[in-house]
A and B are shown apart, each in its own frame.
Chain A
Amino acid sequence: GAVVSQHPSWVICKSGTSVKIECRSLDFQATTMFWYRQFPKQSLMLMATSNEGSKATYEQGVEKDKFLINHASLTLSTLTVTSAHPEDSSFYICSAWGAGGSSYNEQFFGPGTRLTVL
């Protein structure tokens, strides 16, 4: 099946700094990728939809100026958490839909990035 990778797998940063998380589709092209956030013992919450070559679509309540998304190519989307604060500490996961065949209608998730803001 299709593979989605994320980098880094975990990151610790100081409050006020910015952190960039990369999401790559390794063996297929993804015109659309999704960014989720998951707090402990809670469900995955969709933050934004990342569209290649255009602006991301953010869910209600998600600050677009704080969570910058760039989808510059068909295999790479990045999420930058700007001026991170401790409340931004969470598990960030990206995903992309399968490109066809048996993977059609299947969403592939990255392994996630654990962000800890001190």
Chain B
Amino acid sequence: SQKIEQNSEALNIQEGKTATLTCNYTNYSPAYLQWYRQDPGRGPVFLLLIRENEKEKRKERLKVTFDTTLKQSLFHITASQPADSATYLCALVTGGYQKVTFGIGTKLQVIP
């Protein structure tokens, strides 16, 4: 069966360090993969998109890698700040660039 796995355990890191979140998937052939941020009681906010033929994407302090052989994406936040504390969702886009399937998300807590 199809599965998207994110570490549902909370990740606690010290301010200034790099946070690395993992997204693994099985039985999908995504056209591309997205990362979102979700704050409590709010809708997700789009952060980054990476296509199946791209290995790495950067945006300011964010970096995403995509390994279609391992079926894994890593999401990095460098120089993390307390304001980065949120739940981060991985999402796979399939089916003609319309259907989006979300992982459960990883809660990140950046400690001052």
Contact = CB atoms under 8 A, between A and B. Distances in A.
Interface in A60-118: 91, 93, 95, 97, 105-112, 114
Interface residues of A, number: 24
A4 to B, nearest CB: 8
A108 B36 CA distance: 10
B105 A111 contact: no
B97 to A, nearest CB: 7
Interface of B: 4, 8, 32, 34, 36, 41-46, 49, 89, 97-105
Contact of A105 (B32, B42, B44, B105): B32
Nearest to B97: A105
Contact of B98 (A4, A49, A108, A109): A49
A109 B44 contact: yes
Contacts of A32: 98
A97 B44 CA distance: 13
A43 B45 contact: no
Interface of A: 4, 6, 32, 34, 41-46, 49, 91, 93, 95, 97, 105-112, 114
B98 A43 contact: no
Given A43-B105, A44-B89, A109 B100 contact: no
Given A32-B98, A97-B98, A105-B32, A43 B49 contact: no
B97 A44 contact: no
Nearest to A4: B43
10 contacts: A43-B89, A43-B102, A43-B105, A46-B101, A49-B98, A93-B44, A97-B98, A105-B32, A107-B34, A114-B41
Contacts of B42: 111-112
B34 A109 contact: no
A66 B41 CA distance: 24
Contact of B103 (A43, A93, A107, A112): A43
Contact of A106 (B41, B46, B98, B103): B46
B43 A110 contact: yes
Contact of B104 (A43, A49, A91, A109): A43
